[in-house]
């Protein structure tokens, strides 16, 4: 983006000059801080995916927030699911506003800044559509004809879905996502990258991170590995000294893109701190405090032996205690993506990248072979990315099975819902009831 003196913070629809356009761009970013995206309440793409997985257990301290999602008992009128759907399209609509108005400023003294704004808006639009696919699409496969989500490219100030779009195929969604991301990269190549000292904006490195994650999900493994390599080459891993400081917002090491808290956003409100409604599962606690955890059991990251309600000794994640910047992409994820992509192209490959990450976290190198390499990569994703919005999606794209060890009063939990099988409807969220009521072009997912 044109060099901004402040963090993204405003939403604006009227555009009379280039300063207004810049403010609209900032507003598009600001939508990600909303409670229904990375923020405090639903935390749909920050903490919630881990709550829905097996790394967090509903504690006795729970007041019922996130209960439907944690217990996989949601329906089409669930407010959290509706809120996540609508907020993603609010951000998309704001990005569309930027894209539609950039053309008037892509000349003269504002040429470079306007093109950089367009690149970021296109990438942001692609990012949000992919996030929607992760919850609401019926498949992740690159060429799937099953239903994806509406790909919206028109700005509407009152209702992002006012045009009553239909759901398009997953394949067509990916086609549109790639079109936006590659166009953004072309713009940066021609007009230069955005100034991004605090990693608050989407630059070309971040776009490669987006492409790497998308390629991992949809099976484009060679290209995903190549995109991950670009990021790894530009932003080295944090060492054991810097790693704990990332979670205090004292280090930018290995951060590809982060969302600023502005003293309001609390992306880990439900599972961080001394009174977490969702505590860390005991089997994860044992893993992170084993030699495999390394520096990841630093007290700035996780803390154990916290006595809670019912005399249950709890472990709590401390990555996002209070108001912290949410880390959307980090270099460590890119190492894990490249490792998994190597393995999926050649069984047993990927150990080199896995051991590189282990060394950066103060963990001894492994000697795994064959399928044990994949299991080790998957375990490392769990160790490295807890609380960052990955576990549910990792389970969905692989085993599609969850078995929680701690259930009911015997397990120190309010929840008696412990298992989810591969054929459950719950792996795919329903399209919100109100959206279908307003737009009969939207088809519902099966089982809802």
Beta bridge partners of 329: 257
Alpha-carbon distance 284 to 293, whole Å? 10
Torsion sign, CA atoms 210, 213, 217, 222: positive
Q: How many residues does the chain have?
A: 448
Burial of 65 (0-12, 13-18, 19+ CB in 10 A): middle
Q: Which of 418, 425, 378, 422 is nearest to 57 (CA)?
A: 418
The tokens describing 275, both together, are 């009174």
Which residues are CB-neighbours of 326 under 8 A, at least 6 positions away? Answer: 38, 46, 258, 259, 261, 265, 267, 320
User: What pLDDT was estimated at residue 168?
Assistant: 98
The answer to whether 386 and 317 are in contact (CB under 8 A) is yes
CB atoms within 10 A of CB 4: 18
The tokens describing 378, both together, are 């998957």
pLDDT tens per residue, the chain (448 residues)? Answer: 444 444 443 345 679 999 999 999 999 999 999 989 998 878 899 989 999 999 999 988 888 889 999 999 999 999 999 999 999 999 999 999 999 999 999 999 999 999 999 999 999 999 999 999 999 999 999 999 999 999 999 998 888 999 999 999 999 999 999 999 999 999 999 999 999 999 999 999 999 999 999 999 999 999 999 999 999 999 999 999 999 999 999 999 999 999 998 777 788 777 777 778 899 999 999 999 999 999 999 999 999 988 888 888 889 999 988 788 999 999 999 999 999 999 999 999 999 999 999 999 999 999 999 999 999 999 999 999 999 999 999 999 998 999 999 999 889 899 999 999 999 999 999 999 999 999 999 999 999 9
Torsion sign, CA atoms 226, 228, 233, 237: negative
Give the count of alpha carbons within 13 A of 147, CB side only: 17
Alpha-carbon distance 424 to 393, whole Å? 15
Alpha-carbon distance 23 to 28, whole Å? 9
Alpha-carbon distance 69 to 78, whole Å? 9
**DSSP states of 69-126 as a string?**
HHTT---TT-HHHHHHHHHHHHHHHHHHHHHHHHGGGSSGGGHHHHHHHHHHHHHHHH
User: What pLDDT was estimated at residue 5?
Assistant: 42
Alpha-carbon distance 336 to 380, whole Å? 8
Nearest 5°: the CA angle 308, 313, 314 is: 75
Beta bridge partners of 147: 169
User: What pLDDT was estimated at residue 271?
Assistant: 78
Strands 302-307 and 278-280: unpaired
Which residues are CB-neighbours of 385 under 8 A, at least 6 positions away? Answer: 332, 333, 336, 391
The answer to whether 247 and 319 are in contact (CB under 8 A) is yes
Q: Which of 206, 191, 187, 205 is nearest to 99 (CA)?
A: 187
Q: Which of 289, 273, 200 is nearest to 5 (CA)?
A: 200
Strands 402-403 and 419-420: antiparallel
Q: Which of 61, 57, 56, 50 is nearest to 307 (CA)?
A: 61
Q: Which of 29, 151, 154, 152 is nearest to 97 (CA)?
A: 154
User: What pLDDT was estimated at residue 4?
Assistant: 45
Backbone angles phi, psi at 288, to 5 degrees: -70, -25
Alpha-carbon distance 141 to 312, whole Å? 42
The answer to whether 169 and 145 are in contact (CB under 8 A) is yes
User: What pLDDT was estimated at residue 13?
Assistant: 62
Q: Which of 21, 20, 44 is nearest to 32 (CA)?
A: 44
Nearest 5°: the CA angle 178, 4, 103 is: 50
The tokens describing 203, both together, are 């630059």
């Amino acid at each position: 983006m044109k060099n901004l003196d402040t963090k993204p913070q405003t939403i604006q629809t009227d555009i009379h000059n280039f300063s207004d356009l810049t403010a609209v761009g900032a507003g598009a970013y600001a939508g990600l801080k909303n409670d229904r995206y990375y923020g405090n309440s639903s935390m749909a793409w920050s903490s919630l995916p881990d709550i829905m997985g097996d790394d967090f257990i509903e504690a006795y301290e729970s007041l019922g927030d996130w209960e439907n999602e944690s217990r996989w008992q949601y329906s089409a009128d669930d407010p959290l699911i509706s809120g996540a759907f609508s907020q993603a399209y609010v951000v998309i609509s704001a990005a569309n506003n930027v894209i539609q108005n950039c053309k008037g400023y892509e000349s003269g003294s504002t040429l470079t800044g306007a093109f950089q704004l367009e690149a970021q808006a296109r990438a942001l639009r692609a990012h949000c559509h992919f996030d929607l696919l992760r919850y609401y699409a019926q498949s992740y496969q690159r060429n799937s004809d099953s239903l994806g989500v509406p790909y919206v490219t028109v700005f509407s100030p009152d209702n992002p879905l006012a045009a009553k779009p239909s759901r398009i195929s997953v394949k067509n969604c990916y086609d549109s996502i790639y079109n936006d991301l590659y166009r953004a990269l072309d713009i940066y190549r021609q007009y230069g990258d955005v100034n991004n000292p605090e990693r608050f904006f989407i630059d070309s490195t971040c776009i490669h991170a987006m492409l790497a994650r998308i390629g991992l999900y949809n099976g484009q493994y060679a290209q995903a590995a190549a995109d991950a390599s670009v990021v790894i080459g530009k932003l080295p891993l944090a060492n054991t000294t810097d790693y704990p400081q990332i979670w205090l917002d004292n280090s930018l090491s290995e951060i590809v893109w982060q969302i600023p808290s502005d003293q309001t956003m609390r992306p880990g409100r439900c599972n961080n701190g001394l009174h977490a409604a969702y505590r860390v599962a005991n089997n994860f606690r044992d893993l992170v405090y084993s030699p495999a955890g390394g520096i990841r059991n630093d007290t700035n990251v996780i803390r154990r032996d916290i006595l809670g309600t019912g005399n249950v000794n709890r472990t709590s994640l401390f990555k996002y205690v209070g108001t912290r910047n949410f880390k959307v992409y980090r270099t460590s994820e890119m190492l894990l993506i490249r490792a998994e992509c190597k393995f999926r192209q050649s069984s047993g490959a990927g150990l080199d990248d896995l051991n590189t990450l282990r060394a950066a976290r103060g963990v001894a190198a492994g000697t795994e072979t064959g399928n044990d390499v994949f299991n080790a990569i998957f375990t490392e994703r769990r160790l490295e990315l807890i609380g960052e919005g990955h576990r549910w999606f990792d389970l969905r794209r692989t085993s599609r099975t969850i078995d929680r060890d701690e259930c009911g009063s015997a397990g120190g939990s309010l929840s008696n819902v412990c298992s989810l099988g591969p054929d459950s409807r719950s792996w795919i969220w329903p399209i919100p009831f109100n959206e279908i009521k307003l737009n009969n072009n939207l088809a519902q997912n099966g089982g809802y």
